[in-house]
Amino acid sequence: MILICPECKNEVNLSSYPNLDIGHIVECDVCGITLQVKSISEGKIEAEVVDEGK
């Protein structure tokens, strides 16, 4: 499955997250930002940036 990073617009390889589900935290391997999965459908994943200021 492929996620398009909302920050850098690159494709993120999620093969290292075999049990990916909504709410999981993933990391963009291009820009290094932390993302939370918002939806998964038909092999397409949407995620949003997690505020790292906490």
Sites of contact with Zn ion (CB under 5 A): 5, 7-8, 28, 30-31
Cβ proximity to Zn ion: between 26 and 28 the closer is 28
- The distance of closest approach from Cβ of residue 12 to Zn ion in the complex, given in angstroms and rounded to an integer, is 7
Say how far apart CA 8 and CA 22 lie, in whole Å.
Answer: 21
Cβ proximity to Zn ion: between 8 and 25 the closer is 8
Give which of 29, 22, 27 is closest to 52, Cα–Cα: 27
Say how far apart CA 49 and CA 36 lie, in whole Å.
Answer: 6
Cβ proximity to Zn ion: between 8 and 22 the closer is 8
